Structure 1
Amino acid sequence: MTTYQDLKDFFKRQDLKVIIAADAETRIAKRGNNIVGQIIPAGGVAVAFDPIAKASNAIYIGRGRNEDDRKFLDLRGRIPIDNTGDRYYLKRVFFNREEQDGYYCGFSNQTLWPLCHVSFERPDFRDDWYEDFKKINQKFAKAIKEEIKGKTFIWVNDYQLSLVPKYLGRQKGAIIGMFWHIPWPTWEIFRILPQKKEILESLLSCDFIAFHRGYQVRNFLETVGREFEARIDQETSKVYYNKQVTTVKNLPMGIDADIIESILENKQKTFITKIVHEVIRSDKNTDIANPFDTLFKEQKVILGVDRLDYTKGLRLRLLALDKFFEKNKTYIGKITYLGILAPSRIEIPAYRNLKEEIRNLGIAINRKYKKNNWEPIKIVYQVFPRDKIMDLYKNSSLCLVTPLDDGMNLVSKEFVIAASYSANPGMLVLSQFAGSSIDLTQALIVNPYNVEEVAKAIKKGLEMEKKEKIKRIKTMKEILEERNIYEWAKEFVGSAVSVI
């Protein structure tokens, strides 16, 4: 199993300057008692890339969110992150509100996001959004160029920065790797994008591109082959285009079990656990009792933890729960679905409409099955500290992860690690369309569009023998420990460097 020290030693042997660019930051400014501090956000990017950046002594370039983010920056717009011994620099780039709206709420998340996810949400195409998208990608590229020195590995992350490789151009001594975290659609879908050729040509400026799953690689290669007169070597997954060779590979993103273990055990064992405790200490409410303690004492709990997004299959999940209670009336009054939904992209109409739809459907199901003070559906729109979420994972009887399309899905993996700490673990019901299903084959794999199938899986998971649940969870945990975040980072960078 690859450790943080292994990853650190790997970067030392490579003798590379590392620049990581992503829309999300690894630190955000948080104001309390008139004091502004830097905390790690609760999102997956922060937990994943903070230790990677430290292990590589990287320059991490992210989008500044507010004026407080400007505080503490040096003349180059950077702030050192070195509270655990190893250091990297967080460099923030800032944009005006109009540019951010067009780039993020517009082209990134009303054009590319729905285009790339099979969720049947129609993408919108607006030239002004794309102009803002180009401007911000140009500014990211400029910020990266300012940091290139000698042999440099540039790690560009995700669809929001898909034009950055184009604007970087060929930099002497630089290697460009792109990790595309969301699904890549079929050519038949991608071809409707008016800016498809510019996006593709930018990506083919990279030396190395990685996706989570093999079918996404195949979709990408087919798209390139349909759109360009490019030579594609299917055996090596190399694309020869415009005097550039680009290698494409699938590398499922891992997690580090120590993240969850340190929270559940409340002790520091490895480097990354220090990061986790930093997150916990940053939230002033972490010493408050879990608000769901009473619920867990009185009921069995089916858990869902999601960002509010139409790709997560939330409506179909509620319909499956409705079908479950309809066919299994003995569970009425004895089990509750607890849906934790993190508010997301509320500026976008589709997300506001989804929230209203979920609210109305939840009310309807509760009216149908309500018994005394019990209701089957409890939905909470809130972001909770990681220690509270891990506690929910550990104590739930079942976890529903049923996206319609998902590049990876870290919730499913985190649940498995947390559940392994329970004497009687819950079971995971997982969509076949989640990228994590390629690793978590011992979960109850379902088609989220098949409401009957999901309802049956809920019943099977709740009634599964304790011995079988322990065996399945143990098998999945071992796989996750082997394919952890450090191994993922090492393979990504190593694969990119080896193609040069």
Structure 2
Amino acid sequence: MSNRKTLQKLIRKELQEVKFLVVSNREPYVHSRKDDEIVVSRPAGGLALALDPVMQASNGVWIAQGTGDADRETVDEHDHVAVPPENPSYTLRRVWIDEQLQREFYNGMANEGLWPLCHISFVRPTFRPRDWESYRRANQVFADAILEEAGEEAAFVFIQDYHFALLPRMLKQRNPKLIVAQFWHIPWPNAEAFRAFPWKEEILDGLLGNDLLGFQLRYHCTNFLETVDRNIESIVNTEQSNVMRGGHETLVRPFPISIDFDAHVRTAFSSEVQADMEEWRKRLSLDTSGIEFLGIGIDRIDYTKGIPDRLQGFDYFLEQHPEYRGRVQFVQIGVPSRMEIQQYQAVSEEVEKMVDAMNQKWASGSWKPVIFLRQYFTPRQLIALHRLANFCVVTSLHDGMNLVAKEYVASRFDEDGVLILSRFTGAARELGDALLVNPFAIGEIAEAIAQAVSMKQEERRKRMRRMRRDVEENNIYDWAANILSQLLRFEISSAQAEEEEEAQ
């Protein structure tokens, strides 16, 4: 089991002469204007939270798009800013994308095309030629920034997610000495579903520019290998889980991502979280309303997260178990996301209408069954809510991993609480002591809620103890160390190849 110190030792030992560059679309810190001051915030989403401790251990450079209205004011002449602001330990290099390019590359191709294609969410993907051209251009903008940062020195480039499928090949064509890895955080669709993508060969060729390509699950690796085998000229070795194309080998491996368990627990223990818990109690009137059981859902507003299905499940629970009316309250946090896209606006409106209808249907006196908070909360505020909640519901229709589930488990150092978890998340492969449900079956969700509120303390603690052990042992540092170990093999192989070439 790795931790921050062991990862730092590995990095210092193995990467002394090698630059470590991480690439993502979303930046880990955003500078914004508030009145006459510049404030720093951390965006919602698991990727930034998961990778930030890795970067703090590596002292590397994180290359990402600048999105804050004060971002340009806070960088130097090289578009650099040191982060985290309270204790700088690595460099953030900001890349600038204009509004039209952002709309077509990010909203269009990435989130109206690739996102629904890769998630089984029954939303039809949209593929516009103009969006694909902008996707290419945005990948090229990032390639230029990465090559500038790498210079002539040895460098590991670690690319994040589905926004940059063309980037690996662009980098390799211009600097073959770079060691390039990519982690695809979302699912990879089966080969039949991928047939719908109009630019199949180009995107697969781009991804096969990687030396190492990681997915959350072996199942996603298998889907990718089968997709390559059916669509592009290459040699696919399913036993070794690699692909040869044009004399270049790409390893395809599963790396289930996780969280910084120890740091999460320290925060959960803190007096600041205790104060936040008191704020939540007041806000939700928990001490005066007679509420015995608090359930929570924490998500970006996204059609893949199954929020309407979750609310239908809770509605059915109240119908089937009238003895719990007035005793159970469900708080749904929905962080606004991609609201420029019609499907995201639609799910936000649907959730609001469902909450209003449920509250009109079931409310009694001062009790409302559902509270919908459509806003961003800090990680610390969410940890405080985790600690108060008797059960947490994660009903993603399809998810690469889902770190909310792991964060809830890590917050519960009291070994209490029940996790209700969709079978269609990567987290379900690790957290088998959660109450696993089919998110499309509202009856299963309702029954899981009934089981959660009636579960004996001994059973709750037994389940939570095992889940906490799983998250602690498979933490973010293990994830990073496993990927780094694979990357180091390429460095050794490249060095040996150069020595043999020189000897000849």
| C-alpha distance in 2 between matches for 1:380 and 1:374 | 16
- Which structure 2 residue ranges, 5 or more long, are not aligned? 494-504
Mapping of residues 45-64 of structure 1, within 5 Å: 45-64=47-66
Residue in 1 aligned with 2:455? 464
| Equivalent position of 1:443 in the other structure | 434
**1:19 aligned partner, one-letter code:** L
Matching of residues 140-179 of structure 1 within 5 Å: 140-148=142-150, 149-170=152-173, 171-179=175-183
Please show how residues 320-469 of structure 1 align to structure 2 within 5 Å: 320-421=313-414, 425-469=416-460
> What is the aligned partner in structure 2 of residue 218 from structure 1?
222
**Cα distance per residue 1:282-333 (max 9 Å; x no partner):** xxx9799235351366312111111100000111111111111111110111
The CA deviation at 1:71 is 1.5
Which residue of structure 2 lines up, in the alignment, with residue 18 of structure 1? 20
CA shift digits 1:189-232 (9 cap, x unpaired) = 11101112111100001000000011101100110011023211
- The runs of at least 4 aligned residues of structure 1 exceeding 6 Å deviation read 285-288
Candidates 66, 80, 83, aligned match of 1:81 = 83
Q: Distance in 1 between the 2:368 and 2:85 partners?
A: 46
Report the RMSD for the aligned CA atoms in angstroms: 1.9
Question: 2:392·2:408 contact (CA, 8 Å) conserved in 1?
Answer: yes
Contact 1:420 1:473 in 2 (8 A): no
Q: Following TM superposition, by how much is the alpha carbon of 1:67 offset from its aligned partner in structure 2, in angstroms?
A: 4.2
> Any conservation in 1 of the 2:171–2:178 contact (CA below 8 Å)?
no
- Distance (Å, rounded) in 2 between the aligned partners of 1:106 and 1:137: 14
Q: Equivalent residues in 2 for 1:231-250 (5 A)?
A: 231-250=235-254
- Matched ranges for 1:205-354 at <5 A: 205-266=209-270, 289-290=279-280, 292-295=283-286, 298-299=290-291, 300-354=293-347
1:82 and 1:302 map into 2 onto residues whose CA distance is: 33
Distance 2:97 2:454 in 1: 53
Alignment partner, residue 202 of structure 1 = 206
CA contact (8 A) 1:159 1:181 kept: yes
Report the counterpart of residue 120 of structure 1 in structure 2. Answer: 122
Give me the TM-score of the superposition, normalised by structure 2: 0.92
Q: Which stretch of structure 1 is more off in the superposition, 71-80 or 294-303? A: 294-303
Inter-partner Cα distance in structure 2 for 1:419 and 1:57: 31
- Residues 395, 419 of structure 1: 8 Å contact kept: no
How far apart are the structure 2 equivalents of 1:132 and 1:38?
A: 29
Residue by residue over 1:440-464, the C-alpha shift from the partner in whole angstroms, topping out at 9 and shown as x without a partner, is 1100011111111111111111111
Give the count of matched residue pairs. 483
SS at match of 1:68: coil
User: Which residue in the other structure is 2:33 paired with?
Assistant: 31
| Number of the residue aligned with 1:270 | none
Give the whole-Å Cα distance in 1 for the aligned partners of 2:414 and 2:30. Answer: 31
Percent of residue pairs bearing the same amino acid type: 35
Between stretches 217-226 and 40-49, larger displacement belongs to: 40-49
Task: Give the deviation of 1:372 after TM superposition.
Answer: 2.3
Distance 2:248 2:287 in 1: 57
2:497 maps to: none
Q: Which amino acid aligns with 2:148?
A: E
Aligned residues of 1:238 and 1:247 also touching (Cα < 8 A): yes
Q: Deviations over 1:331-365 (max 9, x none)?
A: 11111111011011111100111111112222222
Deviations 1:108-148 (A, max 9, x none): 11001111000000111111111111111100001000111
Q: Give the unaligned 5+ runs of structure 1.
A: 268-276
- Structure 1 pair 286–65 and aligned structure 2 pair: CA distance change class (3 A): farther
- Cα separation, 2, equivalents of 1:288 and 1:23: 36
Maintained 8 Å contact 1:22/1:156: yes
Matched, 1:481 2:472: yes
Deviates more, 1:164-173 or 1:325-334: 164-173
